[in-house]
Amino acid sequence: MSKDPFIKAVDTEGVSQTKKNLIERKKGDAGGVDHTHITEPHGNLLIKGQEKIIEGQNNNFIIMGRDRPGDGKDGYGGAGHTHTSTIRLIAGLHGRDVKETNIKKDNNSVQEERVFLQPSPSKDAATIYMSQKTDIDSAFNISTGGRYGAPQGRSAALIKADCIRLVGRESIKLVTKTENKNSLKGNIRGRPGIELIAGNDTTDMQPLVKGKSLVTALEETGNVINGLSNIVENLAIAVQAISVGIVPVSPFSLAAFPGTVVAAPLATSYALQALMFLPAVKANIEILNTKLKYAEDKLLSRHNMTN
């Protein structure tokens, strides 16, 4: 239940003057307690052509017709296409902007005229839109960017409201390409993925990261770093041997070399070992880079994107 102090719990804005007069005669009681009849604005839906309407009493509608995102002239239904079967459910036609009538003043007389409203992708409070053929992204002001753009003339299902929850007690699957052909009998190319778009902004879409591949990449990166540390260790011992003329006692040595020895051969030995490690490390780096960019088990998803 809304706790916004700026939103009235009972609001008759948009109600016709005739209904408001009835409320006044009831001493301001709009009703509604325990789901009894309530006086609230209920839009006059403009019905187009052969549309079949199931209408409730609380500004709610089910429209069965053809593709009609807005004023009836838009969409494939308005253009006269076949195979555009559409069902639209609206809870809250025009939301808080709904109004039943306009007051028209003519000389000294005041008349009240009914206002007929079109469904609105932007104003309707909550909508489910299912169409056999529609341009769903442009019709509902959804960004046409991203990897998959804005398909045109496709079957689509949309849910739009302030808040949407999909609840699965056991699981939820978001699945693409369950068949090889779309509703137009056209072939579905490739493997279409899923895009998560926050703020309707596709300017910085990036591939999602795959968890197992990320773990593997981090482990392989650790192995490369470990190889580099071995090279640095051997070079450090070689440099130290030359600088002091002895083999140092070091936690990296198998044992201490007693006494003073000739430094050059020992330094050469450690330096050669470092050089022997180096080609393997470079090769591993190249393999890792290739896997991150091109391999089948690469780090980034080939199909799924987000911003």
Q: What pLDDT digit, counting tens, does each position of 161-216 carry?
A: 999 999 999 999 999 998 898 888 889 888 888 888 899 998 988 888 888 877 78
Give the list of residues 6+ apart from residue 102 with CB closer than 8 angstroms, or none: 112, 113, 115
Give the per-residue pLDDT at 240. 64
Q: Do residues 100 and 14 lie in contact, with contact meaning Cβ atoms separated by under 8 Å? A: yes
Give the per-residue pLDDT at 168. 93
Query: What's the maximum distance between 2 C-alpha atoms anywhere in the chain?
Result: 120
pLDDT above 80: residue 91: yes
Q: Residue 144 is which amino acid?
A: T
Alpha carbons within 13 angstroms on the beta-carbon side of residue 162 total 6
Q: What pLDDT digit, counting tens, does each position of 215-259 carry?
A: 787 777 777 777 777 777 777 666 766 666 554 444 444 444 444
| Strands 195-196, 300-306: pairing kind | parallel
Tokens coding 259:
């006494």
Determine the 3-state secondary structure of 92 from DSSP.
Answer: coil
Unique residue bearing structure tokens 């440099």: 239
Domain ranges of the chain: 41-204, 211-306
3-state secondary structure string across 103-135: EEEECCEEEEEECEECCCCCCCCEEEEEEEEEC
Q: Do residues 53 and 63 lie in contact, with contact meaning Cβ atoms separated by under 8 Å? A: yes
Residues in the chain: 307
Give the list of residues 6+ apart from residue 108 with CB closer than 8 angstroms, or none: none
Q: What's the CA gap between 269 and 295, in Å, rounded?
A: 38
CA-closest candidate to residue 125, choices 86, 176, 175, 162: 162
Q: What pLDDT digit, counting tens, does each position of 43-85 carry?
A: 999 999 999 999 999 999 999 999 999 877 789 999 999 999 9
Q: What's the CA gap between 141 and 306, in Å, rounded?
A: 18
CA-closest candidate to residue 69, choices 142, 125, 134: 134
CA-closest candidate to residue 274, choices 245, 234, 301, 241: 234
Q: Do residues 47 and 53 lie in contact, with contact meaning Cβ atoms separated by under 8 Å? A: yes
Alpha carbons within 13 angstroms on the beta-carbon side of residue 222 total 6
Q: pTM here? A: 0.76
Other CB atoms within 10 A of residue 234 CB: 21
Average pLDDT of the chain? Answer: 82
